[in-house]
Structure 1
Amino acid sequence: MKKFRNPSYGFFAFMAIVGGVVLLLADLDKFQDFPRGDTPLRLLGYAGLTVFGVLATRITVEVGPQGVRVVNLTGTRRVRWADITGIALETSLVLTLADGSRVKCVAVQPTNFENASGREGYAHRVVQELDVMRARA
């Protein structure tokens, strides 16, 4: 099984987790009077940042002989090769299915540099590789 993901997501996910924990530890003394003031809102914000970081570590596109497994922030979807009728690169990788629905894969996105310069980068190579794998299946 081959995995594709945005190379920078790991760094940003790590920074979100570390940032949430560090901010929580820095404000620990303010949590003594927990139910008053903006303390619950701060706690919710720090927890949200940490949870976002943990979820962002999961974002990936896994490809195998059976098909494609897309893991986004909020869910996972498995798609068989036979169900995929098209693969395109828009703001992110998009799989078009036989029933007309589309599956967005946020793990593979073109960079601003690729968009501005017109050069093909990592995201374009992933699309080409997926096209080859779909043709073989």
Structure 2
Amino acid sequence: MTRYSRDEDEWGQLTGAALKFLIERARLQKMTTYTELNATLVKRTGLRGFDLDLESERAAMGHLLGLVVDRTFPMTKLMISALVHYLNANDAGPGFYHLAAELGLLPRRASTAAKQEFWIGQVKALYAHYA
């Protein structure tokens, strides 16, 4: 089955590479951007990157981050995708908060302040977990 024009094998390769990179970032206690993650995935997998100028490709990147969280959340109870933020911004994307609500970690109608507090808490906990 293909999703966002990528087959299961591609998603598996991308998920593994993204997870490895995000764990590296967490150990360094550093954030990353969608742009940096995208470039790293191309370099490490040889697969085509995501065209982040297109809404469908940004959605595909969000899908990838959801797959990464699915792999790690059962063990860590943390959302490793918290380490990815927009270029020139200091916040996670809306998909991060939507997934947090789906996981029961954040109320669906959380205030902006509550979302920020949750995100910062996730980042700090990820740094401590992977230190």
| Structure with the bigger percentage of strand | 1
Which TM-score tier does this pair reach, normalised by the shorter chain?
under 0.3
TM superposition score normalised by structure 2:
0.27
Bigger radius of gyration among the two: 1
Q: Which has the higher contact order (CA 8 A, sep 6+)?
A: 2
| Structure with the bigger percentage of helix | 2
TM superposition score normalised by structure 1:
0.27
